[in-house]
């Protein structure tokens, strides 16, 4: 079952999943799902979460989520709104959207233009796995 189908099924069943077009929150999420436009997806357990860092430079914002073996780098707008969801482990899913959808995004919601996942584990470097 695809993520969209699961989300629709949860909403129909009355589960407490809330979100916009590019992020979902839940009362308590065990892991963070990440979906890129190119079809790449990751599932990173919140039990491996280390820290978050938000940076604003002009109109674009950056949010870095560090896990034990991965760093998730997000660029977009209004990303500071995701910090409370990260801090309470309620963020369940992130999905990047093409910049052309920015005008249609609600101005009260984060807009994720780019997501990159980078392997930061020393073991991954030694085995030759890709870092990005």
pLDDT digits (tens, 9 = 90+) for 35-76: 999 999 999 999 999 999 999 988 889 999 999 999 999 999
Average pLDDT over the chain, rounded to whole? 81
The DSSP code for 3 is H
**Within-domain flag for 72:** yes
Domain that includes residue 24, residue range: 3-127
**Within-domain flag for 132:** no
Contact 22, 75 (CB under 8 A): no
**Within-domain flag for 122:** yes
- pTM, two decimals, is 0.75
Q: How many domains does the chain have?
A: 1
């Amino acid at each position: 079952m695809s993520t969209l189908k699961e989300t629709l099924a949860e909403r129909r069943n009355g589960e407490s999943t809330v979100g916009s077009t590019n992020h979902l929150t839940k009362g308590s999420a065990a892991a963070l799902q990440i979906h890129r436009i190119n079809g790449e997806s990751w599932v990173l357990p919140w039990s491996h979460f280390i820290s978050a860092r938000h940076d604003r430079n002009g109109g674009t914002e950056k949010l870095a989520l560090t896990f034990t073996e991965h760093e998730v780098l997000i660029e977009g707008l209004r990303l500071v709104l995701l910090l409370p969801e990260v801090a309470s482990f309620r963020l369940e899913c992130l999905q990047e959207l093409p910049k052309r959808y920015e005008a249609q995004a609600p101005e009260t919601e984060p807009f994720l233009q780019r997501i990159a996942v980078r392997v930061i584990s020393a073991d991954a470097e030694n085995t030759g796995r890709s870092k990005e």
